[in-house]
Amino acid sequence: MAEQKQRRGQGFFRLGLLLGILAGGLLALVNPLETRSEPEPRALPPTPDTTP
């Protein structure tokens, strides 16, 4: 019985790891898009300030 419990625990652990990796991958895909779109508006305002 103890072995079955261990196996079940390992299964849940692997499932959690897979979910974590998937979530991390999704975040990694979404974050660069957010960070890329941010600098663009920031880079635009200084140009009118520097040019009189």
Predicted confidence (pLDDT) per residue in 22-34, tens digit? 998 888 887 766 6
| Domain segments of the chain as ranges | 2-50
Q: What percent of the chain has pLDDT over 70?
A: 56
Question: pLDDT averaged over the chain?
Answer: 73
> At a CB cut-off of 8 Å and minimum separation 6, what does 7 contact?
none
Between residues 9 and 41, the one the model is more confident about? 9
